[in-house]
């Protein structure tokens, strides 16, 4: 065998200028040969075969034992549930079990505590529902009150906007009239200079000067009249603007007062809503605590039902409604004994 491997290795040695490594075909051939050698050794070594067989058998037994133990655990749980059901049936139907008054008394006491807690929980639920209804009603009325206040504010707000627009229009018109007044004043000054220049002009005849001067004076009078009318109009615009300004200030004061009252109502409503929500949260927390206590009582009843069921199973009180439980327990005991026997045999 060694010679064969040496020959095979020498035949597959690559030339110096070829790439390193064996081809895949040769590699797989070597692996197959190694596996054949291992199998040959395994077939010839009886002790190795025995140890491997024992190891595999031990692992198989361990797996079987684990599965049987899991089935036994499930069967014990199932029997415990049947026994608990039996105890619950005995207690609910008030079936007398010899020497087991104490367990029934404990269960009765726990049931009374549970019913008391359930009544208290129902009262808490009713109170919570009542508070939630009151909160919804308050929020609806509060929103209606805010909406009414906003509706009442609307005319003031609209009038203020109109006044501001009117004031802006008056301001623009006053500026335009003032510019017009400045133009009239410049026209009067120009006419006055023209009169002086005319009087100083010696080349014109006196009759021509008089006619021209009369025309200029007539023009000056027209401009002065127009100036007076413009002055009166500007004064009327200013007075109207002052009147609007007074009205605007009064409305702004009312709006400010209104906004303060609105904010006070709004903040008061938010505060009351938070109080409602806090109280509702506390009542819900109380109900959760009561639910936890009720669940705790149910957990305390379970082992008592199991104890009562065990006692009922031991005494086997002759009651037709219990016969099915007895049959199930017997069947479960039989399976438990069989599983324990199988585990012990391993």
Least confident of 164-168, 169-173, 251-255, 318-322: 318-322
Contact in structure between 336 and 69 (CB atoms under 8 Å):
no
Torsion of CA 104, 109, 114, 116, to 10 degrees: 140
Cα torsion angle, 57, 62, 67, 73, sign: positive
User: Is pLDDT of 183 > 80?
Assistant: yes
What's the CA gap between 70 and 76, in Å, rounded? 10
Residues 185-225 pLDDT 10s: 888 888 888 777 766 655 555 555 566 777 877 888 888 88
Least confident of 31-35, 130-134, 278-282: 31-35
What's the CA gap between 173 and 234, in Å, rounded? 9
Q: What is the mean predicted confidence (pLDDT) over 215-236?
A: 86
What's the CA gap between 311 and 96, in Å, rounded? 11
Residues 295-329 pLDDT 10s: 999 999 999 989 888 888 888 888 888 889 888 98
What's the CA gap between 283 and 120, in Å, rounded? 11
Q: Give me the pLDDT at residue 42, please.
A: 61
Residues 58-67 pLDDT 10s: 567 778 878 8
What's the CA gap between 299 and 1, in Å, rounded? 75
Residues 5-53 pLDDT 10s: 444 444 444 444 444 455 777 878 778 888 777 766 666 666 655 666 6
177 by Cβ neighbours in 10 Å (0-12 / 13-18 / 19+) ranks as middle
Q: Give me the pLDDT at residue 93, please.
A: 86
Contact in structure between 87 and 305 (CB atoms under 8 Å):
yes
Contact in structure between 124 and 233 (CB atoms under 8 Å):
no
Residues 71-93 pLDDT 10s: 889 998 998 899 999 888 888 88
Q: Give me the pLDDT at residue 101, please.
A: 78
pLDDT band for position 294 (cuts 50, 70, 90): very high
Residues 102-129 pLDDT 10s: 888 898 899 999 999 999 999 999 999 9
Q: What is the mean pLDDT of the chain?
A: 82
Closest CA to 154 of 265, 255, 260, 248: 255
């Amino acid at each position: 065998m060694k010679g064969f491997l040496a020959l095979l290795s020498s035949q597959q040695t690559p030339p110096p200028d070829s790439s390193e490594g064996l081809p895949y075909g040769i590699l797989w051939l070597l692996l197959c040969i190694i596996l054949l050698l291992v199998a040959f050794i395994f077939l010839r070594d009886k002790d190795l075969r025995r140890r491997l067989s024992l190891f595999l058998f031990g692992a198989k037994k361990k797996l079987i034992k684990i599965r049987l133990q899991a089935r036994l655990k499930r069967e014990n749980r199932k029997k415990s549930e049947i026994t608990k059901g039996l105890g619950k049936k005995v207690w609910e139907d008030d079936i007398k079990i010899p020497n087991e008054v104490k367990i029934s008394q404990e269960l009765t006491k726990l049931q009374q505590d549970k019913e008391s807690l359930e009544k208290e929980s129902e009262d808490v639920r009713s109170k919570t529902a009542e508070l939630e209804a009151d909160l919804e009603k308050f929020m609806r009325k509060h929103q209606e009150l805010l909406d009414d206040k906003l509706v009442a504010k609307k005319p003031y707000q609209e009038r203020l906007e109109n006044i501001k627009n009117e004031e802006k229009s008056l301001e623009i018109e006053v500026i335009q009239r003032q510019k017009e007044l400045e133009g009239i004043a410049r026209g009067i000054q120009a006419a006055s200079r023209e009169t002086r220049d005319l009087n100083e002009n010696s080349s014109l005849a006196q009759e021509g000067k008089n006619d021209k001067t009369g025309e200029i004076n007539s023009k000056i009078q027209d401009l002065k009249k127009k100036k007076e009318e413009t002055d009166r109009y500007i004064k009327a615009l200013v007075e109207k603007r002052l009147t609007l300004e007074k009205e605007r200030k009064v409305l702004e004061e009312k709006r400010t007062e209104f906004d303060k009252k609105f904010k006070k109502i709004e903040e008061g409503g938010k505060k009351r809503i938070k109080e409602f929500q806090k109280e509702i949260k506390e009542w819900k927390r109380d109900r959760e605590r009561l639910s936890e206590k009720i669940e705790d009582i149910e957990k305390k009843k379970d082992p008592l039902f199991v104890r009562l069921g065990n006692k009922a199973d031991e005494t086997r009180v002759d009651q037709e409604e219990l016969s099915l439980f007895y049959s199930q327990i017997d069947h479960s005991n039989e399976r438990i004994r069989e599983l324990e026997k199988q585990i012990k045999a391993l």
